Every structure is written in structure tokens, then in C-alpha cells.
A and B are shown apart, each in its own frame.
Chain A
Amino acid sequence: MIALEELREKPLDELLQRAWKLRQDNFEDVLYVSAPSAKRYEITSFKNSPRRFVNVSITGNACTLKCEHCQGKLLESMHHVTSPEELLTLGKRLIEQGCEGMLISGGADSEGRVPLRSFAQAMKELREMGLKVIVHSGLVGEEDALSLKRAGVEQVLLDVIGDSATITEVYHLNKKPADYSRALEHLKREGLSIAPHIVVGLHRGEIRGEYEALRMITEAGAEVIVIVVLSPLYGTPFEGVAPPPPREIAKLIAIARILNPRAKLNLGCAKPAKAKAEIETLAIDAGVNTIAYPSEEALRYAEERGLELRFSELCCTLV
């Protein structure tokens, strides 16, 4: 593997050129646009549906960790269920309304796990009804991974953190980066498709454990890597925190592309709105395959660079 530390010493422009070349060598000239139903998305040429691909919280608004950057606020806009029966009822109703898939998420317990195990049978039934089901798992043990495998979920999304202080101070969790590596291993061992996420700037806007997280993900061999960026939320302790500079974010994305030339590399849904267009255009230079809810500026730029746009209402990890 190319030494990550060596790459970090390189100037951004050199990294972007290498990353772009790798994208050209390994993928067709397409930029996928992902716009699932978690947000209403309307641009000149496309409008998404409110029910095509929905987010569901299996804990309602409840979360034990109350991480500094979220405090459970991201759960508020999801569909809420608190039992497998409610999940099935919701799934049946949404299918009738044209729903094609679900991201099943929820608040974490004190061990950093989303309590998905008791929903495994319901998820399996949803899959049998034809829904795509992906989960946001939090940390997983062997039993959790086995249960997700039995449920037949299409993919497992997991935020990977590479810094102990971030885990304790931001996530309020008594864990180490190695616990995230182990979670990835458990999931891979069961043959599950993983879509690890790196939240850039998670430590109060600092770049801290992101490169270690990237190293762990690269070692695990993910099919899809999702980069998201801290977007300080109103009413959380991180309100007012400055997200990392766009060029620092681009550097991480370019290095992710160089280290994982054949993995799908996505810029996910969380991005600070004010710098969004700049982050997105740099991410295009850095070789991303998919951007969630992109700005029209970024789409114009992608076309200028010779990329064809293809729109999808699925979660970016499934595009």
C-alpha cells in the first residue's frame, strides 16, 4: 500500500491530479447524483420524491450517547418506529406509496450500538417484500454481524473514528479506534457489504483521526467509502464550530481515492451548506463517483470536466 503519511506531505494539486487520473482509469465518465427522501431536493433538472428511499429510526428520538455534534437531532426528521411490528406496518404502507428502500438507523446505546438485533426478522420480511434495506449499525460485535447477515440487509453503514479522544469527547463512548476496526472485521467476516463513513472535522472542526480512519477502512477493503463533513447543528454544543477548510477536506478525499482506486468514493449528505459548492467541486477533482444532494454549481462543473450526470433517489452507498 502507498504510504499514507507520504501522501499527506504532497501538495493538494498533485494529489488531485493523481486522483482524477485514477478515476478516469477505473470508472466511466459519470457522476452519480444521489437524492434519497431524507431531504426534499429540487434543482432545475430534477426533483426527488418524499417516499422513494426513507430513513427510519428504530429508537424514535432516543439516543443514549447524545454525541456533541448531533444530540439526537438527526433522528428527529426520520420515520419513527419502536417495535418490529411498527417497522413492518410502516414498510407495508410505504411500499404502497412507491417506496423502494429504507435506511434503518436509530440512537445508540451506551456501547455505541444501534439496537438492530431485535429487528432482524422484520428487516428480513421487508427484504422479502422487495424493499432494499440498509442499516446504520454503530459498533457491532460478532452476534450483531451474524444477525444482520441473517436479516439479509444489503449494506451496513458505519461511521469510523480513528482518534480515541474524539470517541470519548465527541461520542461520549469508552471505546478505541481498534473497536471500529473490529466492527469492520466482524461485518466483513459475515460477507456483508460495508459502506464506512468518515466524518471530516468531527473533533470540533479539527482534522484529527480522519486519516487513521481512512487507513483502517483501506485495510478492511470497503466497496464503498463515504466522506461526510461536520455540519454544525443549531442547538448542539457544536453550533458555531467552523468546519474544516474545503481544501483540507479535498486532500482527504484525494488520498482516499489514491489508496482505494477501485472503491466507490462518495461525498455523502452531510456538508456545511455555505462551503458546499466549493467542497463539491474539489471532490469532483478528487475523483468521487457520487455526490448526495449536490449544488447546481457542482453539477455544471462536473459536466465541464466531461462527466455525464445520472440521478438516483437511492442512498448514495447503493448507487
Chain B
Amino acid sequence: MELKAKQVLKVKEYEFPLDRLYYKGRNAHLWVKREGESVLIGIDAFLAESAGYLNYLSITAEKLEKGEAFANVESAKFVSKLYSPVSGEILEINQEVIENPRLINESPYEAWIVRVKPASEDVLKQEDLLSDREKLTAWIEEEIARLEEE
């Protein structure tokens, strides 16, 4: 379902649909979206854009622990890990995205990586999971400044 413009936060050229949470911890730049009993996890537009075209993605964990690495990701200018925004059990891995990580660059909010059963309801109520316009804007502006400095 397409969101209305007012439901999408825009910070400079980066868009953040407000139907999900954004993980600020470890500057992970992952989003979490509830879908029924499970949540989907993907990469936000800031990371998708700043990393460049992704050419490799692999899931390295069987179970997610908040703040711990669960995937390896690579592009021409980026070799790093993804840090989980929640603890929980991996229910499904999006094989299409594993096969073609570039889908994340093309459509970061459609190309989810894993579907997870959260360990508890509380895992989504954490301060480092942002959905508030003001807090999200402040964090992304900090991140843009950091990127420009680099």
C-alpha cells in the first residue's frame, strides 16, 4: 500500500516511511516493520544510498540478538555487518534479496531481509528504535554531517 506524502519523512534526499521503526543503535540504519505477529527487517535509505550498490549479503546468525551482528554485507565501498534491531527468531530469509542485494538499493523499503518473531512485545519499545519525526530527523541530519565529513 502506498503511503501518503505526510506519512513519509524526508531528510534531504533520504526518505523514511513512518509506518516502521528505525534502529539508531550502532548506527545500524535498519528498519523494523510489524506485520501481524512477526516483524520484517531491512536497510534504510541512508545506508542503501551511502553504501553504493550492494553486491553481497549473507545471513550469519540463526537467532537474532539485539545489537549483535546477524549478516555480512558488501558493496564496492563497504564491507561490514548488519546489527540486529531486535532479539528474536528468524522465521524467513528473503532469498530474492540474498541472491540480488541490489534490490535493496533500488527499493530499500520493499526489499526486506529477514522476517522475525520478536522475543517479546517489549523489544519494539526501545529508545533506540525511532519513529518520532523530530528524533529521526535529528539523527539523520547528524549522520549526513558525519558522511559529508568522511
Residue of A39, A51, A272, A293 with highest tally of chain B CB at under 10 A: A39
Assess whether A50 is interfacial by the CB under 8 Å rule.
Answer: yes
How many Cβ-Cβ contacts under 8 Å join chain A to chain B?
Answer: 42
Once the chains bind, are B79 and A40 in contact (CB under 8 Å)?
Answer: yes
| Chain B residues numbered 62-115 whose CB sits less than 8 Å from any CB in chain A | 69, 72, 74, 76-81, 102
Chain A residue with the shortest CB-CB distance to B101:
A273
Indicate if the CB atoms of B81 and A43 lie closer than 8 Å: yes
A40 and B78 within 8 A (CB):
yes
Please tell me the number of chain B residues within 8 Å of chain A, measured between CB atoms.
15
Given contacts A44-B69, A234-B102, contact A77 B77 (CB under 8 A): yes
Verify A39–B78 contact, CB threshold 8 A: yes
In this complex, how many residues of chain A approach chain B with their Cβ under 8 Å: the count is 22
Contacts of A43 in B (CB 8 A): 79, 81
B80 near A42 with CB under 8 A, answer yes
Q: Check B150–A50 contact: CB distance below 8 A.
A: yes
Residues of B within 8 A of A233 (CB): 76
* Residue from B56, B80, B150 within 8 A of A41 (CB atoms): B80
Is A51 in contact with B77, judged by CB distance below 8 angstroms?
Answer: no
> Which residue of the partner chain B has the closest CB to A55?
B77
Partner among A38, A74, A234, A273 whose Cβ is within 8 Å of the Cβ of B74 = A273
Beta-carbon contact of A40 and B81 below 8 Å: no
| A276 proximal to B (CB < 8 A) | yes
- Residue numbers in B under 8 Å from A293 (CB-CB): 79
Complex CA distance for A38 and B69, rounded to whole angstroms: 23
| Bound complex: CA A295 to CA B69 (Å) | 14
Q: Encode A167-209 as 1/0 by CB contact (under 8 A) with B.
A: 0000000000000000000000000000000000000000000
Whether B81 contacts A51 by the Cβ 8 Å rule is no
Interface residues of A (CB under 8 A from B): 38-44, 50-51, 73-74, 77, 231, 233-234, 272-274, 276, 293, 295-296
